[in-house]
Structure 1
Amino acid sequence: MTLNILAPIFLFTLTAAITPGGATTLATASGLQYGLGRSIPLIAGIAFGMVSLSVAASVGLASLMLTSPKLHLLLKLAGTVYLLWLALMIARSNRPKTRDDLAKPISFFGSLGLLWLNPKAWAMTMGAAASFSALITDPLHLAFWLGLAFGISAIFSMSLWCSTGSLLARLLKTDRQWKIVNVILGLLLAASIMPIWLF
């Protein structure tokens, strides 16, 4: 595979993964509350979600999923409820407890569910598969390269956003500052739902 084919794929996936949205807000909130180390399952779940969605899109499964209006509506509703619940949990959070066993970050499967219930992620991976199928005509090769690119980009992006949250945690000194930041992150996550209803 030549660089002039791979470069646009990696540039697209990195741009898609790093721009603010629901997953990046969750990664920032997780870094803020739990630090980078305890957020690794969340990062891995988001990355695996992007890989699996891009593979599904490359082999045509995503288009089947989104061609059914009832299934698409159900996907939107489930994704909206899940994201609103997460936004509420973040907004209601206070300063993290000092004992590690009192706080549980979002799990691998919780963050994987975030991606699979997000029609915006489906549309993004379908768009990538449709766009780059002209460069890579074999669906299995397309699935491999898109999956690899989305996986690497998601790990990099979520780690960056999570590290930003960890850095922010060091700057917060009072309970009031923690509450304000958590409410802002909760509101940003809730606002990230709007594009779901535009697709």
Structure 2
Amino acid sequence: MTIEALLPLILFAFVSTITPGAATTLATASGAHFGFCRSIPVITGCAIGLGSVACAAAAGLGSLLMALPALQIAMKVLGSLYLTWLAIRIGRSGPPRLDGEMAKPTSFAAGVWMLWYNPKGWAMTIGAAASFAALATGPATLAILLGLTFCLVAAFSLAIWCALGQLLGRLLKTAWQWRALNFFLACLLIISIVPMWRG
């Protein structure tokens, strides 16, 4: 398989993962508060989470989940509650400090969890599985291809957002600037819940 054949899939994954959403907002907030290195676990967790969702979607699990309306509602409710909790946690934090609400970066496991409950991630990867099925000889090959592509591209996209967050964090000098940034990021996280409930 040539790189030319993979370019449309890579572009699809890049556009899907670089656009603002819950994971990009979390990566930006983590970069601003903790720097790039301490944010690697959550970036890795989100990337592996999306890669594993893509793998499962290509293998057929995604279609099964989307066919169960009760499970979709449960995922949306849990996802909305978790993102609201994260938004409150970010919104209440001030400048980076060694104690309090934002004392520790979001964990690897939380990053994985955030992608697995997100119906938008499932819908996106199911769409990718349908659109790019011709690239693989069977479901297992497609699962590996989509899983690796989404994992690597998401890691790259989130690293960009995290680096921008770190740069922004270095520019902020006063407590009110940090409060304004945290409030803005918290609002973005709340707004990212809306697409979950559409359709």
Question: Which TM bucket (shorter chain)?
Answer: over 0.9
1:161 aligned partner: 161
Q: Which residue number corresponds to residue 75 of structure 2?
A: 75
Equivalences, count: 198
Residue aligning to 1:51: 51
CA distance in 2, matches of 1:75, 1:66: 11
1:110-157 residue CA offsets vs partner (Å, 9 max, x unmatched): 111110111101111111011111332411111111111101111101
Percent pairwise identity:
51
In 1, Cα distance between equivalents of 2:165 and 2:43: 13
> How far apart, in 1, do the equivalents of 2:79 and 2:137 lie?
32
Per-residue Cα deviation, 1:73-119 (whole angstroms, up to 9, x for no partner): 000000000001101111111001157xx811100011111101111
Name the residue aligned to 1:97. Answer: 97
Query: Matched residues in 2 for 1:4 and 1:167: separation?
Result: 34
The code of the aligned residue for 2:83 comes to L
Secondary structure of the corresponding residue to residue 39 of structure 1: helix
Partner of 1:197: 197
Residue equivalent to 2:3: 3
> What one-letter code is carried by the residue in structure 2 that aligns with 1:90?
I
Alignment partners' CA distance in 1, 2:36 and 2:27? 9
- Paired residue for 2:134? 134
TM-score by length of 1: 0.96
Aligned mates of 1:154, 1:134 — CA distance in 2:
22
User: Which sections of structure 2, spanning at least 5 residues, go unmatched?
Assistant: none
Task: Give the partner amino acid of 2:93.
Answer: S
Tell me by how many angstroms 1:2 deviates.
2.0
Mapped to 1, the partners of 2:85 and 2:63 lie a distance apart of 28
TM (normalized to structure 2)?
Answer: 0.96
Distance 1:46 1:113 in 2: 8
Partner of 2:143: 143
Question: Residue in 2 aligned with 1:178?
Answer: 178
